[in-house]
Amino acid sequence: MKTFKSKTTEKKFGQWLNSFPESWHPYDYERFHEFVTALLIDDDYISESELRNAIIELKEWKDKDFIDEFVESVTMKIDDLRLFFDHLKKIKIINAT
């Protein structure tokens, strides 16, 4: 599975992915946001292939089309949140450490 820069990000990723990430229930969405926040704070990244491989490794999903759509959707959400995070750093709403 993907190795992240910090154990916190790795833990948050596992908590999100080992639950029900496909449901987008508020609790699952919260776990997703916690993972992405840790990822961005650490200036880390997860590629589509790394996410796909983690899903294949940890989930029992069989539908390749569903996996592809899910990975694309999540990757787009992460990219959007990264742009917003970078904007907040640029206008000094958050510290750019």
Model confidence over 57-67: pLDDT tens digits?
999 899 999 99
Q: What is the pLDDT of residue 96?
A: 62
Per-residue model confidence (pLDDT) at position 7 = 96
Rounded Cα gap, residues 15 and 1, in angstroms: 14
Question: Closest Cα to residue 81, out of 43, 37, 29?
Answer: 37
> Residue 1: pLDDT above 90?
no
Question: pTM for this structure?
Answer: 0.91
pLDDT at 95: 79
